[in-house]
Amino acid sequence: MISIKGLSKIFNTDAHNQVTAVDNITLTINEGDIFGFIGYSGAGKSTFVRLLNRLEEPTGGQITINNQEISSLKTKGLRLARQEIGMIFQHFNLLWSRTVKENITFPLEISGVPKTERDDRVQELINLVGLAGKENAYPSQLSGGQKQRVGIARALANKPKVLLCDEATSALDPETTNSILDLLVDINNKLGLTIILITHEMHVIRKICNRVAVMESGKIVEQGNVLDVFLKPKQEVTRKFVEQVMGSNEEEEDLQQLIQSYKHGTIIRLHFVGETTNQALISQVAKKFNVDINILQGKITQTQAGAYGSLFVQMDGDQTEIKQAIQYIEKETSVELEVVQHVN
């Protein structure tokens, strides 16, 4: 779907200094992916996404989308190619003197779509993004989430195959962020759209992306399926991002102190990966075996590929029952189990 080879962008700050914002990036993005790019401020991720539709001109490299090399297109060809690449922005970039309907209509007017066809398409998009009844409202009359929904509808007007999202939820509160992310997943499912999402927030990656690339100093330092990156982050910057949703080393130290305070029973760590998290494991074990189970601490997070996380529990009761319960979990489920502490 999207092939990127040796993509670079160098800015000349003055006669003698240069800044390499994007440094020799090569990767492939599959059709239908929700592919996230995450990095701290200055990592080069926003420059990277603007290179994909040539809002920034590459210094070097190739960008191929749907077998068309974007990086070599001239003015007319680039204008046509951009119709298949929608983009939404952090601060919405709406036309404040135009209504919701007029904002969404604008790219269709530029493309020369007949009025009747425009009207049908705009109403279809308004319904898709959940803005029915707001057709004649102006941006100043809308909430942040509603403004972003207008931006999404406008980006979809020309039926693009790719949607670029540059920090699209950074200006929104957490609840509104989740609703916009849910909308993007819905659009991806209904339209088969390939979505490229730029963010500095790991929970955004966790919630909707199936693949992720971590950027630092203009380079991709780590990439892969989201669940794999959560399970085995290789770079320090990646580990810091994973801690945003899974907890820090300080929290781990607090947990160890809590575990040490228990003077009886067996302390067990249950590690969930993928669909196993959705099983009612604690309930099943409590029903099958004569043991008391006390949940001490845990954090489980959902990704598009399934759930991931750990749960620490205390099992108390007859030692034979506890042993049988442990054997059941190890042999009959795919949950990984580790006995952390055993106190008679």
CATH number at residue 329: 3.30.70.260
Q: Are residues 183 and 312 in the same domain?
A: no
**CA distances from residue 137 to 40, 88, 162 in whole angstroms, order as listed:** 36, 20, 28
Q: Are residues 22 and 101 in the same domain?
A: yes
- Tell me, what's the pLDDT at 249? 53
pLDDT for residue 69 is more than 60: yes
- Tell me, what's the pLDDT at 256? 64
DSSP 68: E
Give tens-digit pLDDT for 238-285: 988 888 777 655 555 555 666 666 666 788 888 877 655 556 788 889
pLDDT for residue 15 is more than 80: no
pLDDT for residue 99 is more than 80: yes
- Tell me, what's the pLDDT at 121? 94
Burial class from Cβ neighbours inside 10 Å (0-12, 13-18, 19+) for residue 100 reads buried
Give tens-digit pLDDT for 105-151: 999 998 889 999 999 999 999 999 999 999 999 999 999 999 999 99
Q: Are residues 222 and 336 in the same domain?
A: no
Provide mean pLDDT across the span 203-227: 93
Model pTM?
0.81
Beta pairing, strands 194-199 & 34-38: parallel
Contacts of 120 (CB under 8 A, 6+ apart): none
Would residue 242 count as lying in a domain?
Answer: no
Mean pLDDT of the chain: 88
Q: Are residues 154 and 259 in the same domain?
A: no
C-beta separation of 169 from 182 below 8 A: no
Mean pLDDT check: name the lowest of 7-11, 66-70, 128-132: 66-70
Contacts of 54 (CB under 8 A, 6+ apart): 70, 71, 73, 78, 82
Would residue 274 count as lying in a domain?
Answer: yes
**CA distances from residue 185 to 7, 30, 149, 326 in whole angstroms, order as listed:** 28, 16, 13, 38
How many domains does the chain divide into? 2
